[in-house]
Structure 1
C-alpha cells in the first residue's frame, strides 16, 4: 500500500484537527492537479483494457488501474468528509482528540477516533444504490464484532460514513443484528464526497 499511496506519510498516524486539515488539503491538491482523463472511446474491449488492466497514476495513487484507484478515491473522499464532520462536532456525543483514517485500502477499521473516554471505531464506504445495503450490513456486522473484541471504546458508540446520495435507502434500511444490540449506538453519517475537493481554482 505504501508503494501505491503517495500520501501515506500524511495519514499513517492519528491526526488532531490541525493536522487533519493540513493532510486533507494535500489530498485535495493531488486530486485537483491530477492529469488523468478518459478519452472518448466506443471500443468496449479497449475500454476494459484501459479501466481494469492498465496501471495509471491518478491523484494520490500510482501503479493501480483506474478502476482500483477511483474506487479508493471515492471511499477516501467519504472518509475525509466524515472526519471533518466529527472534528466540527456534528456528533455532539463524540468529542475527538485525534482521528486515524486508514486511507489507501489498509486493513483494520477505516476510522479510529480517540476521545477522552476511549476509542470510537468506524467504517466508511462509497457505494451505488444497488450495493449500498450490502455495504451497510457488512459495516454494521464488523463494528458490532468489535464490541466483543475491543476493550476500549467510547460509550459503546460507532460511526459509519457513507455517500449521501444513498441516504433515502439507508434511512429505510433496518439491520437485525443492530436491533439485537441496543447497547451499541451506531451513528450513520451521510457525507457529501462530491464537495470535498474544490475545483473552482482549477
Structure 2
C-alpha cells in the first residue's frame, strides 16, 4: 500500500469531522462519485456514506452519462452536480483484457472508457468552483498494476488539463490503485481521508 499511496499523493493526515448530510435535492453533495455501476463504485460510495458524507453518484458508460442519483437518500438529481468540493472518478476493469501492449483493439476500448470518465469529470468541474479529483482504479492482480497505473495517470492528467482549458482548473488531481475485494489495505480509509480534507488537498 505504501508505494500506491505515494503514487496517489495522499499523505497521512488527521480526520476532520464529517460534513452534515442533507436530504434536500437542491443542495450539493460533498462528494461526486463518477463511474460505471459495479463493485468498486459501490464500495467507494458506501465507505463515504458510512462516514457521513453526502454522496452523489454519476453513472457513465461508453456513450456518456447514464444516470445520476443522490446515493445518501435516493432522491433523483437532474442536471449537473453543483458545488461539490471533491470528485472521485472510478476506473473499473476494462471492457476486455489486454493481451499485451500491442493489443490496439483492447486499447481502443480502454480509451473510450477513459474518455467517458474524463468527459463526466469535465462536466462536474464546469459546475464547481473548487474541485479536487481522485481517480480510484481497479487493479485486482499484480500483473495488472502497470497497465492500471498508466490508465489512472492518463485519466487524472487529461481531466486536469481539460478542466484548466475550460477555465475551471482542478485544485488537485491524484490517483490510487486498489481492488473492490481488498479488505486488508488502507486504500479505502485513504479515500475517505482525502474526501474529508477538501479541495485544497
Q: TM-score of the superposition, structure 1-length normalised?
A: 0.33
Which has a greater percent of helix?
A: 1
Which one has more relative contact order, counting CA pairs under 8 Å at least 6 apart? 2
| Higher radius of gyration, 1 or 2 | 1
Q: TM-score of the superposition, structure 2-length normalised?
A: 0.34
